[in-house]
Structure 1
């Protein structure tokens, strides 16, 4: 399968090929490459359009896109506390999303082939995210799906905003 990058819609410069292969307008890197700090995370419920801060008003997290085309993604909910029993440990999983895998770019999408994830069902899956870059902001939209963390909501999609972090 050809995984050549198509970056025409992905940002303010076009590295023209494999991630970071052209040292031209992007200074040798695609604009998505690097460390991104979570600004906001909300979930839209498909059945009624309701938007919910399922991770709280101030969740924390990072996304990191390496020059070697690996993405690391970890988000945690607001006010997480150490668990004191099995029920609390299980509840902590509801406020965690974490995965890593090799990624490729296709226009305004990144596609990650996951080899590690907080939910074993995601290991071996292909996760596609639509993104837009606006200066130092990265906005991410997931496809509609049933998330294991809040399956009771039915189909949802996540709307995630990051700002470029100081590395």
Structure 2
């Protein structure tokens, strides 16, 4: 039984067209999914400069500028879903001893991971952090944006940098860079 060359050619074209159609569908689905992400994150995407870092102590209601009056640092939210934080306290000086180097960790918050937005919260799946306990966790933050200001609220928790304060929450303010 001989195959008709025209039939074989047509069959090959049909498979190629079907494969192309599947590829176009997959690409369209991927693009539509990312455009939804972009719409959700458009307000937060960009570079933000740290303005203040306060904590509130749950037991007393006390608020303190735990990182000093002029902390420094940045947060970057990329449009592809990665966030980076590098926040340092005011008045950090080069360490001369191992103890001084260890104490510098108390005035540092640094982590990165993939984030997603859910209403007025973002959730970061941490993959690198100054504190190894955070790696592999999801860090949840509430936020609000007013003009060029981003205000961030952590949940109540014991922060490793100032565990002696007990249960606290961080209230962190950033300004959008221009």
Place the TM-score, normalised by the shorter chain, in its bin: 0.7 to 0.9
Structure 1 segments of 4 or more deviating over 4 A?
none
Match of 1:39 among 39, 51, 54: 51
| Pair 1:82-2:94 in alignment | yes
Instruction: Indicate the residue corresponding to 2:161 in structure 1.
Output: 149
Structure 1: tracts of 5 or more residues without a match: 1-16, 23-28
Which residue of 93, 103, 106 corresponds with 2:115?
Answer: 103
TM-score, normalised with respect to structure 1? 0.84
Higher relative contact order (CA closer than 8 Å, sequence separation 6+):
1
Give, in whole Å, the separation in 2 of the partners of 1:99 and 1:122: 8
Displacement after TM superposition at 1:21 (Å): 5.3
2:82 equivalent to 1:70: yes
2:61 & 2:156 partners in 1: Cα distance? 12
Residue 125 (structure 1) aligns with: 137
SS at match of 1:49: coil
Matched pairs, number: 145
Q: Counterpart of 1:19 in 2: which secondary structure?
A: helix
Which structure has the highest helix share of the two?
2
Q: CA shift at 1:19, angstroms? A: 2.6
Match for residue 20 of structure 1 among 38, 42, 45:
38
Bigger Cα Rg:
2
Q: How many Å separate the matches in 2 of 1:108 and 1:120?
A: 27
Provide the secondary structure at the position in 1 that maps to 2:103. helix
Distance 2:67 2:122 in 1: 23
Mark the CA change 1:104 to 1:155 in structure 2 (over 3 Å): closer, same or farther: same
Give the Cα separation in 1 of the matches to 2:86 and 2:58. 24
Instruction: Note the aligned Cα RMSD (angstroms).
Output: 1.5
Gaps of 5+ in 2: 1-34
The Cα shift of 1:20 comes to: 1.9
